[in-house]
C-alpha cells in the first residue's frame, strides 16, 4: 500500500487504490493498550472484515511488537503521514463493550487529559489481559555468574531475587523492595544473564459454563440400559432437562454416565453460561409500598422525562425522607419502557443496602459492580450487562462505565459524597461523568442527597438541573432536635471531661436507661490525637510522610494514617531522644474504651477503618445495631454515610471542628454536610431524635446552619464566600501534581514546570486570564517517600485551561522518576 504522503495527484491515486480493493471502510481506529495508550489507525484484512466490530479486542503490530488494542470504530480521519499497518487478528467473538461507549470514553479522555487507552483500561473489569505480560528469568549464564561470584555485589542481591523464580518487573520491584531498577534489568539482559519474555497471556477472567443434559425423543428406547441410566432417563423425562451438577446429586457417577449416554444418543448435552453470584444470601421479594404525596409527586415529575431524552434532576430529600423508595419507583417506570437503569452508590458498604432493596423489588434483573467482588465475579456481572441479560446495575464510581448499550435512568445516590472522586492515575468524578453519560445517551439523571453539593445547587440555580425536594420524613417523623455545646468552657477540665460535656454524659445515661441506642461521632481514629515529646515538644512524625503519627493501643504502636507505617510505642523522640511521649487528644479507640469503663453494662462497639477492615465486619456491626445487641456505637465519619440505623435516638458529635480547620476552601461545606448527615442518623425509628453537637466554634456559620437544619442559609453564605474569593463553582481549576523520590530534584522539576507554564501563558493571549498559583510544596509535603509539589491553575473557562495544560505537558520533558499528574476539578488540594 502506498503511503499517503505528498501532493494532490498522489492522493487521488490512493483513493483509486482504496476503491480498487474496496477497502475504504476497512480502516479502523484502535486504542492500543500499552503506553502511549493512544488511538492508531489500522487496516483490516478482507478476511477479518466481518469479524471486526467496535468493542472487540484485536492483536496489532506496534513498532516491532505485537500488542492488544481495542476497536473504536471506522477511522474518521486516516493519518496521512505514516504507513498504515494491517491488524493481525481479532481476539473476541463478542464485543466487551458497546460502541455507544466510545464517545463517552473520548469525552473522559479529553476532559481529564488522559490517554484514551488508559481510560478504557480503567473502565473495563480486570482480568482481560489487555497488556501483554513481560516476565524476566535468570539464564544459565546468569546462574553461573551468580554462583561464581563474578558479579558486582550490588547486582548480586538483585540477581538472587530473580534466581528464585521468573517474575514480572512489578513483582521484582516489590520483592527487592524497590532496589532493582529498570536500568539494572536492561543491563543484565545485555550481558545475557537475564532473559526477557513477552507474552500475551490468557484471560484470567473467563466465562464459566455448566452442562445441561436434555432428554432425546426416543432416547429411552435405546439399546444400553442399566439401573443408573434408567434413573437418569426418568429424571429427564420428568423435568425435560437438568444441569449436570444437579444430576450428580441423584446419581453420583452422572458425569461419566452422561458422556457415554450422549455417545449412545440417549441424551443430548449443551452448555450454558453460569454466573458467579456475588449476593450470597437469598432476598425475600417485597412489593412497592404506597408513596407519600411528596414521594409520588417526585416520581411523577421525574418520571415524565423518562424516555424523552436527556434531563437532570437534583433530588434533595432530608435524611429519612425515603429517597430509595423514589429510586425504586423510578426504576420500575424506566424498566416498563424497556430501558435499563444504572445506580451509583458512593461506597461498597452502601451498595449491599441498595442492592438488597433493588433485589427485593426486581429480583434477578440486578447486577452489581464494585471492587469488593472477585475478578471473576466482576467479569461475570460486566458480561451480563454487556449481553443484555440484566437491566439494572448497582455499583460504586467505576460502575459509571457499565456497558449498557441503552440507558434510561442514571441515579447517583448521595451525590455530595467525595468518594465519587477517583484519585488514581485517571482522576475522575463519577457524579459529573454520570451527568455527561446521561447527556450522551439521552437518559435521565437523578442526583440524590440530603445535603446536595454546593456545585449541584449552583447548577439548579443556573437552570442546568431541576430540583425536587422531599421535605418530610416518612411517617411524619420529626427532624432531630440539635443542641450545641461549647467545648471552650471545658478547657480547664482534665482527661475525658475535656471532651465530654456534662450534658452529653447525662443524655447518654438517659438514653441507655430508656434502652435506646447512642451514636458517638468522632472524626479521628486511633487512641490519641497527637503525640508530642514531653521534653522538647516535638511531634512524632512518620519517617516516610512528614505527617503526625497516631497512637493505636490495640497494636501498641504509633501508626501513620497515610502510608500505614508503624513504630513501636517505645520509640523515643526523633529530635531530643526523650523517652516520654505525651498522648494528647482523644481518638475513637480511647472513646470506646472510656465509654465501656463509664457504662460497664452497655455494649459498646466501634466503627472505623480499623474495625471494618475484615470483610463482612461492617455488615456485622450494622446487623448488631438492628438487632439491638449494641447500645453505644463509636465511629468516624463513615457512620454518617447513609446507613439506616432505626433504633438510634441520640447522636453525640464529640468535636465538630476537626474537619473545619483544614486548609481547604471546601472545609466549611464538608463540615456542614457531615454534621447534617450524622444528625440525620438520629430518630429514624419511632422515637424522636436528639443530637448534641460539641464545638469550639459555636458561632461558625456551618455549625449554626447545621443546628437549625438550615440548608438555605448555609448555601447563601458559602456561595458568597466562594464568589468573593473566586473559588469554584465560580472558577474552574486544574491541579498539576509533581511527585518524586528525591527532594531537590522534585523541587527543581516543579520549578521548571512553573517556568514553562509562565512562558506559555505569556505567549498566548488566550491564557491571559488564567491564574497560576505555585508551584508550591504540597501541604502534605511527603507521602510514602514521595516528595510532593503542586501547581494550581485557575480560570473562568475550562477550555483555555485544558489547552494550556496540554501545551504545557507536551512541552515538558521530565526525568523518569519524577511524575506529573493532572487533576481536573480537584477536590482535595492537600
Partner DNA sequence: AGCACGCCGACT
Partner DNA sequence: GTCGGCGTGCTC
Residues in the site for DNA, rule: CB under 7 A? 34-36, 38, 40-42, 60-65, 79, 81-85, 134, 169, 182-183, 186-187, 190-191, 196, 198, 813, 816
State the nearest-atom distance from the C-beta of 657 to DNA, in Å. 42
Q: Give the closest residue to 75 by CA, choosing from 33, 42, 46, 115.
A: 42
- Nearer residue to DNA within complex by CB, 42 or 527: 42
Q: What is the dihedral of CA 583, 584, 590, 594, to 10 degrees?
A: 110
Three-class SS string for 122-155? HHCCCCCCCCCEEEEEECHHHHHHHHCCCCCHHH
**Residue number with CB closer to DNA (717 or 821):** 821
Q: Nearest distance from residue 784's CB to DNA, in Å?
A: 18
3-class secondary structure, 84: coil
Q: Choose between 198 and 629: whose C-beta lies nearer to DNA.
A: 198
Gap between the Cα atoms of 667 and 661, Å rounded: 7
CB of 61 to DNA, least distance (A): 6
Cβ of residue 93: shortest distance to DNA, in angstroms?
Answer: 24
Smallest gap from Cβ 824 to DNA, in A, equals 21
635: buried, middle or exposed (CB in 10 Å: 19+, 13-18, 0-12)?
Answer: buried
Parallel/antiparallel/unpaired status of strands 517-521 and 648-653: parallel
Beta carbon nearer to DNA, 20 or 190: 190
Max Cα-Cα span within the chain: 97
4 vs 407, beta carbon nearer DNA: 4
Burial 304-315 (b: 16+ CB within 10 A, else e): ebbbeeebbbbb
| DSSP per position, 753-795 | HHHHHHHHHHH-GGGTT-EEEEEEEEEEEEETTEEEEEEEEEE
C-beta closer to DNA: residue 76 or 699? 76
> Sign of the C-alpha dihedral, residues 167, 170, 172, 175?
negative
Which CB sits closer to DNA, 198 or 387? 198
Smallest distance, Å, CB 16 to DNA? 21
**Least Å distance between CB 165 and DNA?**
18
| Shortest spacing between CB 789 and DNA, in angstroms | 20
Please name the residues in contact with 632: beta carbons below 8 A apart, sequence gap of 6 or more. 508, 512, 517, 518, 519, 520, 595, 599, 602, 603, 604, 605
Our CB check for DNA shows the closer of 15 and 198 to be 198
Q: What is the CA radius of gyration of the chain?
A: 31
Run of H or E residues at 562: none
Cis peptide before 775 (omega within 30 of 0): yes
CB of 544 to DNA, least distance (A): 22
Q: Which is nearer to DNA, 195 or 244 (CB)?
A: 195
CB of 189 to DNA, least distance (A): 8
Closest to DNA by CB, 31 or 257: 31
Question: What b/e sequence results for 279-297 when a residue is b if at least 16 CB atoms lie within 10 Å of its CB, and e otherwise?
Answer: eeeeeeeeeeeebbebbee
Q: In sequence order, what are the beta bridge partners of 446?
A: 313, 411
Amino acid at each position: 500500500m502506498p503511503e499517503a504522503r505528498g501532493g494532490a495527484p498522489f492522493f487521488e491515486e490512493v483513493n483509486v487504490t482504496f476503491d480498487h480493493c474496496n477497502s475504504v471502510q476497512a480502516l479502523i481506529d484502535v486504542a492500543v493498550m500499552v503506553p502511549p495508550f493512544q488511538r492508531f489507525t489500522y487496516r483490516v484484512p478482507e478476511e477479518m472484515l466481518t469479524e471486526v466490530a467496535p468493542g472487540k479486542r484485536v492483536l496489532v503490530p506496534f513498532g516491532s511488537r505485537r500488542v492488544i488494542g481495542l476497536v473504536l470504530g471506522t477511522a474518521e480521519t486516516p493519518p496521512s503521514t505514516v504507513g498504515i499497518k494491517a491488524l493481525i487478528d481479532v481476539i473476541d467473538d463478542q464485543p466487551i463493550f458497546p460502541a455507544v461507549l466510545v464517545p463517552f470514553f473520548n469525552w473522559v479522555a479529553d476532559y481529564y487529559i488522559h490517554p484514551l487507552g488508559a481510560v478504557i483500561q480503567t473502565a473495563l473489569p480486570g482480568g482481560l489481559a489487555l497488556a501483554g505480560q513481560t516476565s524476566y528469568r535468570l539464564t544459565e549464564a546468569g546462574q553461573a555468574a551468580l554462583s561464581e561470584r563474578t558479579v558486582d555485589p550490588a547486582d548480586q542481591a538483585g540477581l538472587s531475587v530473580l534466581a528464585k523464580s521468573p517474575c514480572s518487573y512489578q513483582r521484582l520491584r516489590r520483592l527487592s523492595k524497590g532496589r532493582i531498577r529498570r536500568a539494572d534489568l536492561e543491563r543484565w539482559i545485555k550481558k545475557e544473564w537475564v532473559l526477557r519474555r513477552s507474552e500475551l497471556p490468557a484471560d484470567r477472567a473467563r466465562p464459566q459454563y455448566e452442562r445441561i443434559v436434555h432428554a432425546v425423543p426416543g432416547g429411552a428406547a435405546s439399546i444400553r440400559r442399566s439401573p443408573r441410566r434408567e434413573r437418569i432417563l426418568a429424571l429427564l423425562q420428568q423435568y425435560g432437562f437438568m444441569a449436570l451438577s444437579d444430576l450428580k446429586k441423584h446419581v453420583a457417577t452422572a458425569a461419566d454416565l452422561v458422556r457415554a449416554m450422549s455417545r449412545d444418543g440417549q441424551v443430548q448435552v449443551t452448555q450454558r453460561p453460569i454466573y458467579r453470584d456475588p449476593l450470597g444470601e437469598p432476598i425475600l421479594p417485597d412489593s412497592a409500598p404506597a408513596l407519600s404525596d411528596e414521594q409520588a409527586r417526585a416520581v411523577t415529575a421525574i418520571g415524565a422525562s423518562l424516555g424523552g431524552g436527556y434531563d437532570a434532576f437534583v433530588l434533595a430529600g432530608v435524611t429519612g425522607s425515603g429517597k430509595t423508595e423514589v429510586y425504586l419507583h423510578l426504576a420500575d417506570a424506566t424498566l416498563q419502557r424497556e430501558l435499563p437503569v444504572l445506580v451509583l452508590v458512593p461506597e461498597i458498604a452502601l451498595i449491599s443496602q441498595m442492592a438488597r432493596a433493588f433485589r427485593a423489588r426486581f429480583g434477578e434483573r440486578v447486577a452489581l459492580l464494585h471492587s469488593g467482588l472477585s475478578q471473576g465475579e466482576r467479569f461475570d456481572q460486566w458480561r451480563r450487562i454487556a449481553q443484555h441479560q440484566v437491566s439494572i446495575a448497582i455499583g460504586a464510581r467505576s460502575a459509571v462505565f457499565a456497558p449498557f448499550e441503552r440507558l434510561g435512568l442514571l441515579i447517583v445516590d448521595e451525590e455530595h459524597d467525595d468518594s465519587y472522586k477517583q484519585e488514581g492515575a485517571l482522576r475522575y468524578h463519577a457524579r459529573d461523568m454520570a451527568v455527561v453519560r446521561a447527556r450522551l445517551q439521552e437518559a435521565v439523571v437523578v442526583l440524590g442527597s440530603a445535603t446536595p453539593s454546593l456545585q449541584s445547587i449552583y447548577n439548579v440555580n443556573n437552570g442546568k438541573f431541576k430540583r425536587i425536594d422531599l421535605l418530610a420524613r416518612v411517617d411524619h417523623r420529626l427532624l432531630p432536635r440539635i443542641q450545641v455545646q461549647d467545648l471552650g468552657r471545658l478547657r480547664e477540665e482534665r482527661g475525658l471531661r475535656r471532651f465530654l460535656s456534662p450534658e452529653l454524659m447525662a443524655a447518654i445515661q438517659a438514653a441507655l436507661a430508656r434502652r435506646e441506642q447512642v451514636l458517638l461521632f468522632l472524626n479521628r481514629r486511633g487512641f490519641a490525637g497527637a503525640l508530642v515529646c514531653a521534653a522538647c515538644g516535638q511531634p512524632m512524625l512518620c519517617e516516610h510522610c512528614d505527617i503526625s503519627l497516631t497512637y493505636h493501643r490495640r497494636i501498641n504502636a504509633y501508626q501513620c494514617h497515610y502510608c500505614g507505617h508503624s513504630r513501636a510505642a517505645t520509640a523515643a523522640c526523633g529530635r531530643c531522644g526523650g523517652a516520654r511521649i505525651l498522648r494528647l487528644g482523644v481518638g475513637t479507640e480511647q472513646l470506646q474504651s472510656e465509654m465501656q469503663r463509664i457504662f460497664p453494662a452497655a455494649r459498646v462497639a466501634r466503627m472505623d477503618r480499623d474495625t471494618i477492615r475484615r470483610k463482612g465486619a461492617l455488615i456485622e456491626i450494622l446487623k448488631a445495631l438492628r438487632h439491638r445487641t449494641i447500645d453505644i456505637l463509636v465511629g468516624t465519619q463513615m457512620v454518617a454515610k447513609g446507613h439506616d440505623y432505626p433504633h438510634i435516638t441520640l447522636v453525640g458529635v464529640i468535636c465538630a471542628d476537626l474537619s473545619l480547620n483544614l486548609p481547604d476552601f471546601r472545609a466549611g461545606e464538608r463540615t456542614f454536610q457531615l454534621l447534617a448527615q450524622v444528625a440525620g442518623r438520629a430518630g429514624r425509628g419511632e422515637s424522636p431524635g436528639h443530637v448534641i453537637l460539641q464545638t469550639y466554634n459555636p458561632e461558625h456559620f456551618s455549625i449554626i446552619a447545621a443546628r437549625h437544619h438550615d440548608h438555605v442559609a448555609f448555601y447563601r453564605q458559602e456561595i458568597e464566600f466562594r464568589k468573593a474569593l473566586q473559588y469554584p463553582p465560580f472558577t474552574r481549576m486544574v491541579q498539576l501534581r509533581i511527585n518524586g523520590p528525591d527532594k531537590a530534584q522534585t523541587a527543581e522539576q516543579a520549578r521548571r514546570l512553573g517556568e514553562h507554564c509562565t512562558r506559555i501563558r505569556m505567549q498566548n493571549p488566550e491564557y491571559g486570564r488564567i491564574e497560576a498559583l505555585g508551584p508550591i510544596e504540597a501541604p502534605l509535603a511527603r507521602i510514602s517517600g514521595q516528595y510532593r509539589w503542586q501547581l494550581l491553575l485557575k480560570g473562568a473557562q475550562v477550555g483555555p485551561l485544558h489547552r494550556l495544560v496540554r501545551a504545557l505537558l507536551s512541552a515538558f520533558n521530565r526525568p523518569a522518576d519524577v511524575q506529573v499528574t493532572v487533576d481536573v476539578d480537584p477536590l482535595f488540594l492537600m
